[in-house]
Structure 1
């Protein structure tokens, strides 16, 4: 009875107080509870990847997350330069394996996993994720390709028919003809060898060639040569033996791109066929061992060129209208992989990388 009289007497004050308390409670609930709920909801969406909400307010192109499964040969490189260095947008490179479940692509460098199948990702692959097989080595070097059956979606190699083509170098036309200056030459033939594989074609050929012409060899167990002295030393030679350790389709490495062209020495190549070389390099920019019936006849030809400056200079004529561009490094390769993944949306799987790499190598 007393409570009823109190309410009737003060009703005009009680209702506003209750309304004020209710509004305070509603405001508190909206500012504290709802953000937590929304955060949990967004986290779950990202985990399931049913929607791309990594940047829910960003209306620009969708960003792909590319996981660097292992740094090639342990060589770390910047992960944030796809756009600034190469103009490739919408790519986020990461080496954080905790992001495996949200990565759009995983690039796996074969050399670093080839001895242990368990070094591949062992957790189930998200349905949207694609794996890229990355390899710049020839069959002589790599092993255990059978590890890869039915696992990879794209290839990234030096072969032009790869999904992601990563050449060691390339020749590009220039807009205006260039004046060139050939460094002074005082020596004849040089060869820099990092790995000596007895019995390989290049070693056999050298053993025959040295009978007829002097070759200065630099590298392990031979003449010492530091990186800082490389250009000044090799540029003094007229010819450089750009001998590959493997004869394989499109396998044209730094031996010609940087070692020979970079020092302005005329490359003498041993590797894939002249026809294959000429798909990427002007035919008058190099000398191929296959152009001669024997090593003796090659030696005789080099000795003739040594005495004929006019004929020798013709091997540099291509430089008036072309330039050499080297591979941009590890970061460039991974950024290119991201660009291809953005463009190539159709699903594919490679049943046997081994069959593709070893069985489709005509040149």
Structure 2
């Protein structure tokens, strides 16, 4: 008779960004059995894994566990930010033995969303569109490509910008507002492998507006979403050429609707909550090798290829 799987104990060293979530609902909410999570550091010596969110430890190595890591234990490096945001990766050398990031080659892969095949083809209705292009942006990092692209792009097409320094937009009104637009600028702050954030998954897809993406390559996007579900800035020789194309689609309803055809076969599942990410650690550990090591998180993470 097969033995039941051992319960996995995961110690959350810091709440990520201060966000809390239920510790005992991995099975009910995520469908992962045998997962116990805790924030009780007195259980450090018996925990199967300790998850450390990089932002909380980034500036002080002393915020890491100071006791030696038990031989059976995984130290999980958790991070959902691109290299331009995070610092001091070298303090992690020869300490961690598991990664949890948005990169698909992480031990624990935690994307912002995923495409799911529907059980059968579905009819769909596109929300009525009365406006053209929207962009929600809060942080204007100097020197990043998206800012320079926008400054040139806006010369040729009208763009409604929402955010801290622009028109205010409450999260409660996000989807109802964006769904009125034909296009949404899903411009990432970094061009980095597999870095495709809520700008695409939440802001564009769940608002039923066509995303115009700037970030990683089209080839990289197409590993995760249908190629006809978005417009990539790199497909055009200039911002003016892209603007002309959007204005053309605005006048051609049949051509515009083709960017929604994929929705008859696929749905969008958001994976933005922290609970889902941390519960995944249990599932991975249950089938992970009992020994592995990462000599340099920095070398792995800063290598984009």
- Band the TM-score falls in, shorter-chain normalisation: over 0.9
1:328 positional shift = 5.3
2:256 to 312, 319, 325: 312
Q: What's the counterpart of residue 336 of structure 1?
A: 280
Please show how residues 1-363 of structure 1 align to structure 2 within 5 Å: 60-327=4-271, 329-359=273-303, 361-362=304-305
Q: Which has the higher contact order (CA 8 A, sep 6+)?
A: 2
User: How many residue pairs were aligned?
Assistant: 303
Task: Return 5+ residue gaps in structure 2 as ranges.
Answer: none
RMSD of Structure 2 on Structure 1 (CA): 0.9
**8 A contact 2:229–2:260 mirrored in 1:** yes
Q: What's the counterpart of residue 7 of structure 1?
A: none
TM-score by length of 1: 0.82
Partners of 1:83 and 1:234 in 2: how far apart?
Answer: 34
Q: Secondary structure at the match of 2:10?
A: strand
1:208-238 deviations in Å (ceiling 9; x for gaps): 0011111110001100100111111111000
Partners of 2:131 and 2:5 in 1: how far apart?
Answer: 55
Partners of 2:45 and 2:200 in 1: how far apart?
Answer: 41
1:299 positional shift = 0.4
1:61 positional shift = 2.4
TM-score by length of 2: 0.98
Q: Secondary structure at the match of 1:249?
A: coil
Q: Which of the two has greater helix per residue?
A: 1
Q: Secondary structure at the match of 1:317?
A: helix
Q: Larger Cα Rg: Structure 1 or Structure 2? A: 1
Partners of 2:13 and 2:74 in 1: how far apart?
Answer: 13
**8 A contact 2:138–2:165 mirrored in 1:** no
1:127-175 deviations in Å (ceiling 9; x for gaps): 2211111110000100000011011111110000111110100101101
1:304 positional shift = 0.4
Query: 4+ runs of 1 displaced by more than 4 Å?
Result: none
Partners of 1:352 and 1:124 in 2: how far apart?
Answer: 18
Q: Secondary structure at the match of 2:100?
A: strand
1:205 positional shift = 0.3
